[in-house]
Amino acid sequence: IVMTQSPDSLAVSLGERATINCKSSQSVLFSSNNKNYLAWYQQKPGQPPTLLISWASTRGSGVPDRFSGSGSETDFTLSISSLQAEDVAVYYCHQYYSPPHTFGQGTKLEIK
């Protein structure tokens, strides 16, 4: 499954909304449990990735509620409702529906 993110980079003003899209080449929705096997990670420079969103829309432990995930089957979105300075990072989508698991190419988010 090929994961394609858009855009590759994004500059947003502090307090404004940031939106990152992710498209999978085939559905990652498992019909038996109606769950999308799609996660979003944040990676800051020099650090390992951290989980933001699992199952397409479930925020990880301790993740601020300005982060939200949506979408189903092949089209997904990560939104940051009000950009903070600490949100500057690279964001990756990831499908864990079937091996080989795959990541999007990453979206670099900067402050405008």
Partner 1 sequence: EVQLVESGGGLVQPGGSLRLSCAASGFTFSSYWMHWVRQAPGKGLVWVSHISFDGTTINYADSVKGRFTISRDNAKNTLYLEMNGLRAEDTAVYYCVRDSGCPDFWGQGTLVTVSS
Answer yes or no: are the C-beta atoms of 97 and 28 closer than 8 Å.
yes
Stretch that binds partner 1, among 10-18, 19-27, 50-58, 72-80 (CB under 8 A): 50-58
Binding string, 68-97, against partner 1, x = CB under 8 A?
------------------------x-x-x-
H or E element in which residue 7 lies: none
Report the amino acid identity of residue 10: L
- Using the contact rule CB under 8 A, the part of the chain among 18-26, 49-57, 64-72, 81-89 near partner 1 is 49-57
Binding stretches for partner 1 (CB under 8 A): 37, 39, 41, 43, 48-51, 54-55, 60, 92, 94, 96, 99-106
